[in-house]
Amino acid sequence: MGPPQPGPAAGGGYLGVQGEDADAGARMTRVVEKGPAEVAGLKQGDIVLAVDGKPVLAYRHFLDQVTPKKPGDKITLRVSRNREPKDMTITLGTRPAEPAPQLRQAASATRPFGFMYSGQRENAQDRQGKDGFQYGGVYKSTDGGESWTRINSVNPRPMYFSQIRVDPSDDRYLYVLGVTLYRSQDGGKSFKPDGSREVHPDQHALWIDPRDGRHMIVGCDGGFYATYDRMQNWGPSEQPGYRPVLSRRGGLAPALSRLRRFAR
Same domain, 69 and 186: no
Same domain, 130 and 185: yes
pLDDT at residue 95, as a whole number: 73
In a domain? residue 55 = yes
Burial class (CB in 10 A: 0-12, 13-18, 19+), 142: exposed
Same domain, 178 and 254: yes
CA distance 115 to 106: 7
pLDDT at residue 72, as a whole number: 92
Structural domains counted in the chain: 2
Could you say which of 78, 94, 110 is where a domain stops?
Answer: 94
pLDDT at residue 201, as a whole number: 76
Same domain, 224 and 183: yes
Q: Which domain holds residue 237?
A: 125-263
Same domain, 188 and 63: no
Same domain, 135 and 234: yes
Domain with 90 in it: what CATH number? 2.30.42.10
Same domain, 157 and 249: yes
In a domain? residue 102 = no
Same domain, 83 and 135: no
In a domain? residue 233 = yes
Residue 195 three-state SS: coil
In a domain? residue 2 = no
In a domain? residue 255 = yes
Range 243-248, long-range pairs (CB < 8 A, 24+ positions): 244/200, 246/221, 246/222, 247/221, 247/222
In a domain? residue 133 = yes
Same domain, 132 and 239: yes
Beta-strand pair 174-176/164-166: antiparallel
pLDDT at residue 260, as a whole number: 47
pLDDT at residue 118, as a whole number: 55
* Residues of the chain falling short of pLDDT 70: 1-12, 97-119, 158-160, 237-264
Same domain, 58 and 144: no
Same domain, 39 and 142: no
pLDDT at residue 99, as a whole number: 53
For the full predicted model, state whether its pTM sits above 0.85.
no
In a domain? residue 3 = no
Same domain, 65 and 147: no
pLDDT at residue 69, as a whole number: 85
